[in-house]
């Protein structure tokens, strides 16, 4: 039974073809296309309002040079939110529970922020490795520690997103299994457990959105250090 709990995280395939590409492409198909009319429908209005608010909040700490990343970060935010929310539906696959996919997002974007910092302001970028006023005997140790912490950043981004979504899906499946097992024997306890499952599902909806926001927010903070 324990193995079956983790089967939901295996990439599905059809006729030997992995369907993760379909799961990744599906969010872009679901996004409404803005029409050429002056008056939009409610869905496009809500979508535009959300993207504008998110982009404004994200770009406030950044200078003008960092505003070039607005489209990329907003698109990544919408993509992650849509994938995470679709993964909460029954009989669906969540690509963001795969560490390889999350690292595929985290490593290139983190590396881009580092390269931008090294190209535009190498002195400031290297200065982050050594805090001001450090005693001379501690300089080699602190440089090694800061370098390690710098290279751990993309790993932390990917593992945080993967771990939170994986833990949430496992909890939902465990509690749902408990509901089905308890229903014939103790209906009252099963109903109470189902109420807990409903509340946990609402929590997972919030986690799906918050984790996407945290992923992009941390990328913007890394960008802020290098622009």
Backbone angles phi, psi at 18, to 5 degrees: -65, 135
Q: In the structure encoding, which two tokens stand for residue 33, read together?
A: 């296309």
The mean per-residue pLDDT over the stretch 22-51 comes to: 76
More confident residue, 225 or 164: 164
In eight-state DSSP terms, residue 227 is -
3-state class (DSSP) for residue 14: strand
The mean per-residue pLDDT over the stretch 103-121 comes to: 91
What's the pLDDT score for residue 216?
92
| Pick from 225, 27, 19, 14: nearest CA to 126 | 225
d(C-alpha 204, C-alpha 164), whole Å? 9
Element (H, E) at 13: strand 13-14
Residue 131 has pLDDT above 80, yes or no: no
| Pick from 52, 55, 77: nearest CA to 66 | 55
Question: Is residue 2 situated within a structural domain?
Answer: no
Question: pLDDT grade, residue 7 (50/70/90)?
Answer: low
Strand partners, 17: 14
Question: pLDDT grade, residue 34 (50/70/90)?
Answer: low
The number of distinct structural domains making up the chain is: 1
d(C-alpha 85, C-alpha 81), whole Å? 6
Question: Is residue 1 situated within a structural domain?
Answer: no
Question: Is residue 176 situated within a structural domain?
Answer: yes
Question: Is residue 60 situated within a structural domain?
Answer: yes
- The per-residue pLDDT for range 169-190, each reduced to its tens digit, is 888 888 988 898 888 888 888 8
The mean per-residue pLDDT over the stretch 77-82 comes to: 89
Question: Is residue 42 situated within a structural domain?
Answer: yes
What single string gives the DSSP state of each residue in 100-152? HHHHHHHHHHHHHHHHHHHHH-HHHHHHTTS-TT--GGGHHHHHHHHHHHHHH
What's the pLDDT score for residue 8?
65
Backbone angles phi, psi at 17, to 5 degrees: -100, 120
- The per-residue pLDDT for range 151-174, each reduced to its tens digit, is 999 999 999 999 999 888 888 888
What's the pLDDT score for residue 1?
47
Question: pLDDT grade, residue 128 (50/70/90)?
Answer: confident
What's the chain's average pLDDT?
Answer: 84
Its domain, for residue 174, covers 7-226
């Amino acid at each position: 039974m324990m193995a079956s709990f983790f089967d939901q995280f295996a990439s599905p395939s059809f006729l030997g073809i992995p369907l993760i590409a379909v799961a990744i492409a599906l969010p872009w198909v679901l996004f409404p296309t803005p029409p050429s009319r002056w008056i939009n429908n409610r869905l496009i209005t809500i979508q535009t309002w959300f993207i504008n608010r998110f982009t404004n909040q994200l770009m406030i700490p950044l200078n003008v040079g960092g505003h070039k990343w607005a489209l990329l970060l907003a698109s990544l935010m919408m993509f992650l939110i849509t994938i995470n929310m679709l993964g909460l539906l029954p009989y669906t696959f969540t690509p963001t529970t795969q560490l390889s996919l999350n690292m595929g997002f985290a490593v290139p974007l983190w590396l881009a922020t580092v390269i931008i910092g090294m190209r535009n302001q190498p002195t400031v970028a290297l200065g982050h490795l050594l805090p001001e006023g450090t005693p001379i005997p501690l300089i080699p140790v602190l440089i090694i520690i800061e370098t390690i912490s710098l290279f751990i950043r993309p790993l932390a981004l990917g593992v945080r997103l993967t771990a939170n979504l994986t833990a949430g899906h496992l909890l939902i499946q465990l509690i749902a299994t408990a509901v089905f097992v308890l229903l014939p024997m103790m209906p009252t306890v099963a109903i109470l457990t189902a109420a807990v499952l409903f509340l946990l599902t609402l929590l997972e909806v919030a986690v799906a959105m918050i984790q996407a926001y945290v992923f992009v927010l941390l990328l913007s903070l890394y960008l802020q250090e290098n622009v």
